A and B are shown apart, each in its own frame.
Chain A
Amino acid sequence: MFRRLLVQEMGTMGNDSIGIVVLLATFMGAVMCLQTAHQVGGWIPIYTIGFTVRQTMILEFSPTLIPIILAGKVGSNIASQLGTMRVTEQIDALEIMGVNSACHLVLPKIIAGFFCIPVLVVMSMFLGIASGAGIALLTGVSSMADYQYGIQVDFKSYDVIYALTKTTVFALIMTSVSAYHGYFTEGGALDVARSSTKAVVYSAVIIMISNLVLTQILL
């Protein structure tokens, strides 16, 4: 039963979020490339374009903004699902049966988030960098050789570890904060909507504060 729920949650969090992650990462990488190209020139070398896209995608955009955007999609989904189950007494029904409802409902979501969100983030890193290369070639702001050199120059593998550490922490924050707000919903449909909003807002705020703290600690 637990395995089935876990697979179901992984589908909801992972598969169903691929579209939005692909869209965001592709356009952000392309925009980042064009914005950087607008700044470079003179004494700033062209390969800076590739370098900036890589650093932005790996250090900040993918590990921080993707979880924040997923907090809006996945977090509100978790909170409204649990909130609806609470107000329609489905959680009470589980408790009456002797099922530990928190463990049964919340744990698969947290575990699914722990595994799925880092995968989505890594995917967005690759896509962002690739779309930057694509737009650089299409618009001619950088040659492929310069871009390739830029994405390889001064690469520190620790940056990826830092990014994935952040992502994992943010995934835990997003799923647990959303689950908390949904699970402890009281009232009716309006309260479910309120819980869903709170889940997104609190997740985003806590992720931003943790981002600062983690960056100070890890870098």
Chain B
Amino acid sequence: MIELRTISKSFGDQNVLNRVNTTFQQGKVNFVIGRSGSGKSVMTKCTVGLLEPDEGQVIYDGRNFTEMSLKERKEIRKEIGMLFQGSALFDSMNVEENVMFPLKMFSQMSKAEMRERVEHCLHRVELNGSNNKVPSELSGGMQKRVGIARAIAMNPRYLFCDEPNSGLDPQTAIVIDNLIVDITKEYNMTTVVISHDMNSVIEASDTIHFLHQGEVAWAGDNSEIMTASSQTLNDFVYASKLMQRMRP
């Protein structure tokens, strides 16, 4: 479980996050949704420590991440996997080396054990046999799957996915969504997904956190979002004609 307590972040005069309070549940796919510029990415960066919040605390299963030393943070980060919007695979490495990288850096595994773990992760994302391909030889969907394989290589307790479906066709997007859901249940992880793809939200989310103007304007379960009374949330959810047709 990850708790955000009164997280604020400003850039100059621009207040991006304004005392955000929310909780991401373990074993669930927690979606963070909101319009572009609502602060989703900044919130995630504050959560994983890529940005320092101006105030507030980030608590990972009772451990106060914000007040930790760099060394302690490093230990927590070994428990975090992250799938980036552009996959962020290392260009100079092939698929196998990308997935093996965190194992080489932090595990005490032998080479054979690392290979076995890489094979397991690649099998899990249905990419067997792609070990020697370099990122530029992969499609967008395959790159995302390698990104997921790398993210789960160290058996993380927390998984962050930044717009996992951006740039993917609807069928591949569903494959990635299902993969994230399955992996979350399988490893009992706390998964946080940033998205503004309503299709993914409906398909894959357990809980939803709607960010608006730097605040969590609405939070609830998947089943509640279609009938929520919040006007700003409804404006966001029913922005497309497809969603308007689905409106109960």
A interface residues (Cβ-Cβ under 8 A, vs B): 1, 8, 84-85, 88-90, 92-93, 95-99
Contact = CB atoms under 8 A, between A and B. Distances in A.
B84 A98 contact: no
B75 A90 contact: no
Contacts of A90: 88-91
Contacts of A89: 84-86, 88
A142 B91 CA distance: 53
Contacts, number: 47
Contact of B84 (A8, A84, A93): A93
A77 to B, nearest CB: 13
B85 A98 contact: no
A8 B102 CA distance: 19
B82 A93 contact: yes
Nearest to A92: B50
A87 to B, nearest CB: 9
Nearest to B70: A100
Interface residues of B, number: 25
A105 to B, nearest CB: 10
A98 B77 contact: yes
B14 to A, nearest CB: 16
Nearest to A5: B92
B105 A97 contact: yes
B78 interface: yes
A28 to B, nearest CB: 34
Contacts of A98: 73-75, 77-78, 105-106
A96 B85 contact: no
A78 to B, nearest CB: 13
A135 B169 CA distance: 65
B80 A96 contact: yes
Contacts of A84: 91
A96 B81 CA distance: 7
B48 interface: yes
A95 B90 contact: no
A1 B105 contact: yes
A190 B2 CA distance: 37
